[in-house]
Structure formats: structure tokens, C-alpha cells
Amino acid sequence: KNEVEQSPQNLTAQEGEFITINCSYSVGISALHWLQQHPGGGIVSLFMLSSGKKKHGRLIATINIQEKHSSLHITASHPRDSAVYICAAHYGGSQGNLIFGKGTKLSVKP
Amino acid sequence: KAGVTQTPRYLIKTRGQQVTLSCSPISGHRSVSWYQQTPGQGLQFLFEYFSETQRNKGNFPGRFSGRQFSNSRSEMNVSTLELGDSALYLCASSFFPLVQNTNSPLHFGNGTRLTVT
């Protein structure tokens, strides 16, 4: 069964702190998505990666294919980073669908 | 470039009715995938359309269906609505179909919030 586990479920941080959100998946994937969802529902795609590491501004995403694990890091966190972060395992092959983690609700306090 | 547009934003329906939701992808994108988000189950994949053909389908009953038009706009239909269908329905577009897509990000719409009473 394809499963995606995210941790932690909830995270409260002080402005400026370094934040890490973890994502583990159970079987081989073609790519891993990191998504950001603000109140109101809209989702923004932050990263799509199939190997190594990607960086965009203060956000860094890494993936370890052998360990079936990915992390999202936020450096110098800011209150505007408060949102729900969701990882999604992208299965290609004959499936071509996404399995989502339950999300991590991040709250950054000023 | 306009983003992914979903209409309507909010919808209230009664049990037993049917509903149609619309999704207009980013210009040039031919893949449209649909997702259901509920507090209990989180985000779940419904189905994907590419070049007017359904490419794959998640684990949902046949009451959930969709179609895609030649301009890539997609509609999703839910018949015989149940209380449990109350959810945020999101669509996403991409250039490649999900089965081939390893490097083309998904672009999500703002969703349609459906309430079934």
C-alpha cells in the first residue's frame, strides 16, 4: 500500500527559527511535491523533486531516494510562513497519481 | 499568464442533488487533475484528464465523474450527493500528464467549497 507519513503534525516556532518538516513514503516514487496551503484553501507548489536538493529563497527541499525520505527546511522563519505544508508522493508508471501526507500546520510567532 | 481558475468558489447543495464544478487550466496545459480535501481524509486524488481522455482514477465511487473539452477546460460532476461529499474540491494543471511528469510543477486553483445539507 502506498503511504505517506508527515511529521510533525503541528509546529509552533518563533520568528527567525530554522524549521524542518519531514516526509516519508513507502514505495518508490517518480517525484515528491512540497505544497503550501494558506487559510482559504489555495495551494501553491513549492518544490517538485526526484533527487538531491532544491533551494528557493529561504526554502530548501531535500530527498533521499534510498531512505524514501524528504525534508522541507525553512531558514529564518517569518510569520508569513504560517501555513499548512503538505508533501505528496508522485507515482508514475501505470498509476500516475499523487498520495498526500496529512500536512504540517506551521505557526510562526513574531 | 492567468492562473488556474475554478468556478464556483462556493456551492451549497442538498442530498440527492447533483453538482458540476469547472476548472480552466493555465494556457497551454493539457493535464487537469482533480482532488478532494476533507478534514478527516486530507487531500485525495480523484482523477486526471489529458487531451480529453481520462488517464487515471483514484478510489472514488462512480458518482464522481469528469470530462475535458478540446480547450483543456475540465468539469467534474458528482451525482446523488451525500453529506460526506462536503469538501474542498481542487484542480491542478500541468503541461505533462501525471504518469510522465517528473519535473513540471502542478498549478492549483483556489478550489470550490461544496457543502451538502
pLDDT at A30 over 90: no
Q: CA dist B33 to A4, A9, A46, B43, B94, Å?
A: 19, 26, 18, 12, 9
> Model confidence at A2, in pLDDT bands (50, 70, 90)?
low
Query: pLDDT above 70 covers what percent of chain A?
Result: 94
Q: Assess whether the previous peptide bond of A79 is cis (omega < 30° from 0).
A: no
Task: Label residue A27 by pLDDT band (50, 70, 90).
Answer: confident
**Which amino acid makes up residue A48?**
M
Whether residues A100 and B33 touch (CB distance < 8 A) is answered with no
Tens-place pLDDT, residues B55-97:
888 989 999 999 999 999 999 999 999 999 999 999 999 988 8
Q: Find chain A residues with C-beta within 8 A of B111's C-beta.
A: 41-43
State how far residue B111 is from chain A, nearest Cα, in angstroms.
Answer: 7
- The answer to whether B109 faces chain A, any CB pair under 8 Å, is yes
Percent share of chain B, pLDDT over 70? 97
Strand order in the sheet with B64-68: B5-7, B19-24, B74-78, B64-68
A7 touching chain B per CB within 8 A: no
Q: CA of B38: which chain A residue's CA is closest?
A: A102
Mean pLDDT along residues A40-64: 93
pLDDT > 70? residue A9: yes
Q: Which residues of B touch A28 (CB under 8 A)?
A: none
B 5-24 residues with CB < 8 A to A: none
Pick the more confident residue, B16 or B56.
B16
Give me the residue label for grid cell 487550466. B25
Query: Confidence band (pLDDT; 50, 70, 90) for B98?
Result: confident
Please indicate whether, in this complex, the C-beta atoms of B98 and A92 are within 8 angstroms of each other. yes
Average pLDDT over all residues of chain B: 93
Q: What does the pLDDT read at residue B99?
A: 74
